[in-house]
Homo-oligomer: A and B are copies of this chain.
Amino acid sequence: MSPGQSEKSAAGRKRDADAHDRLLSAAFDLTSARSSTNVSVNEIAREARVGKQTIYRWWPSKSELILDALLQRTLEQTPFPHTSDARSDFAKHLAEIIDMFNSPAGAVIKELVAGAQNEPGLTEQFVRRFWTPRRSLSRERLEQAIADRQVRSDLDPETVLDAMYGVLWTRLVLGHLPLRREDVDDLVTVVWKGIGGPEPDPVG
């Protein structure tokens, strides 16, 4: 992302790191706060005390600025839990995602997913830069679990992961049901044990 490594003539003023940070903060904060009405580029520029040109010098569009702001704010990206029990690791991770979706970051993600529909290329950006890295962590843990024989190996991993995480994404975007940590247990049970057949022996 940083363009500075090009061998262009080194003359010229350096990029203002502070303005850059103010922009990411303004973009994230305004977007997450004013979820109902759209945030305009002018507002972000004013809030960041920055000229509009400074935005368009570094980002091709407002949406990509917001995407960068989201990435920066979610950089912590807690490493996927990794104990000996894959099922509880996933349960823990799903709960963490729920927390994130309920945080301001969730509002920003909604905004981005929405804006991406009319902006070809942005969906691809979002998937590649935000979604894929996180999905990789999940998939690695899943493959480890398969290697550990904790998970059967004959199913498409993407489908398995979407069965879990798709619940969260759908609820974030559609909002038809709240995102609650309490639902994680049932969700993991559905995917781990399946819903088929009568309830298992409670003693078992």
Q: State whether B153 touches A199 (Cβ < 8 A).
A: yes
Size of the chain A interface, CB-CB below 8 angstroms? 63
Pick out which of these stretches binds chain B: A22-30, A54-62, A68-76, A115-123.
Answer: A115-123
Chain B residues near A164 (CB, 8 Å)? 163
Can you tell how many copies of this chain the complex includes? 4
Taking chain A's interface residues, is the majority helix, strand, or loop, or is none over half, making it mixed?
helix
Q: State whether A174 touches B169 (Cβ < 8 A).
A: yes
Chain A 166-204, CB-CB to B under 8 Å as 1, else 0, gives: 111111011111000001001101111111111110000
Counting from the closest, the 5 A-B pairs by CB-CB distance are A194-B194, A114-B117, A166-B166, A166-B170, A192-B196
Q: Residues of A with Cβ closer than 8 Å to B? A: 35-38, 87, 110-111, 113-120, 123-124, 126-127, 131-132, 135, 149-156, 158-160, 162-171, 173-177, 183, 186-187, 189-200
